[in-house]
A and B are shown apart, each in its own frame.
Chain A
Amino acid sequence: MAEHELSGWKKWVEETGNQVNFFTGFFRNVFAGGFEWSEFVRQCYEIGYKSITLVGITSFIMGVVLTLQSRPTLVKFGASSMLPFMVCVSIVREIGPVITAIICAGKISSGIGAELGSMKVTEQIDAMDVSGANPMQYLVVTRILATTLMIPILTLMGDVIGLFGGYLAVNLADHTSWSLYFNKCLSSITFADLLPAFVKTIFFGFAVGFIGCYKGYNSNNGTESVGLAANSAVVSASLWIFFLDVVAVQITQIFFY
Chain B
Amino acid sequence: MDKVKEDIVPKAKRGKATNELVVEMKDVRKTFGTKDILKKVSLTVKRGENLVILGRSGQGKSVTIKCIVGMLTQDEGTVKVFGDEVSEMDEKELKELRVKIGFLFQSGALYDSMSVRENLEFPLTRVLKIDEQSELDQRVEEVLDAVGLKDAIDKMPSDLSGGMRKRVGLARTLIVKPEIILYDEPTTGLDPITSREISELILQMQEKYKTSSIIITHDMECARITADRLIVLNDGEFVEEGTYEELENSKTEFVRSFFK
Contact = CB atoms under 8 A, between A and B. Distances in A.
Nearest to B123: A131
A78 interface: no
Contacts of B103: 127, 130-131
A130 B112 contact: no
B107 A131 contact: no
A132 B105 contact: no
A132 B99 contact: yes
Given A123-B105, A124-B109, A124-B110, A130 B126 contact: no
A124 B112 contact: yes
A224 interface: no
A124 B111 contact: yes
Given A123-B105, A123-B107, A130 B99 contact: no
Interface in A99-158: 119, 122-124, 126-134, 138
A29 to B, nearest CB: 11
Given A123-B105, A138-B126, A130 B98 contact: yes
B71 A130 contact: yes
Contacts of B95: 132
Interface string B116-134: 0000001100110000000
A18 to B, nearest CB: 17
Given A131-B98, A132-B98, A126 B127 contact: no
Contacts of A123: 105-107, 109
Contact of B71 (A122, A129, A138): A129
Interface in B67-91: 69, 71
B227 interface: no
A119 B114 CA distance: 12
* Max chain A C-beta neighbours (<10 A), residue from B107, B112, B126: B126
Interface string B90-108: 0000011011011101110
Contacts of B106: 123
Contacts of B172: 131
Interface residues of B, number: 22
B119 to A, nearest CB: 10
Nearest to B127: A132
B176 interface: yes
A130 B101 contact: yes
B123 A133 contact: yes
A132 B100 CA distance: 9
A133 B126 CA distance: 6
B98 A122 contact: no
A130 B69 contact: yes
* Max chain A C-beta neighbours (<10 A), residue from B71, B101, B109: B109
A1 B176 CA distance: 54
A119 B157 CA distance: 13
Contact of A122 (B99, B102, B112, B126): B112
B164 to A, nearest CB: 16
Given A131-B176, A132-B98, A132-B99, A126 B126 contact: no
Nearest to A42: B113
B70 to A, nearest CB: 8
Contact of B127 (A119, A127, A133): A133
Contacts of A124: 109-112
B123 A122 contact: no
Interface string A73-112: 0000000000000000000000000000000000000000
A189 B99 CA distance: 57
Contact of B123 (A34, A119, A126, A132): A132
A126 B109 contact: yes
A236 B102 CA distance: 37
Contact of A134 (B109, B112, B126): B126
Contacts of B69: 130
Nearest to B114: A124
* Max chain A C-beta neighbours (<10 A), residue from B71, B101, B103: B103
A50 to B, nearest CB: 15
Contacts of A132: 95-96, 98-99, 123, 126-127, 176
Interface of A: 34, 119, 122-124, 126-134, 138
10 contacts: A122-B107, A123-B109, A127-B111, A129-B98, A131-B98, A132-B98, A132-B123, A133-B123, A133-B127, A138-B126
Given A128-B111, A132-B99, 6 more contacts: A122-B109, A122-B112, A130-B101, A132-B98, A132-B126, A133-B122
Query: Which 4 pairs from chain A and chain B are nearest by CB?
Result: A127-B109, A132-B98, A133-B126, A123-B109
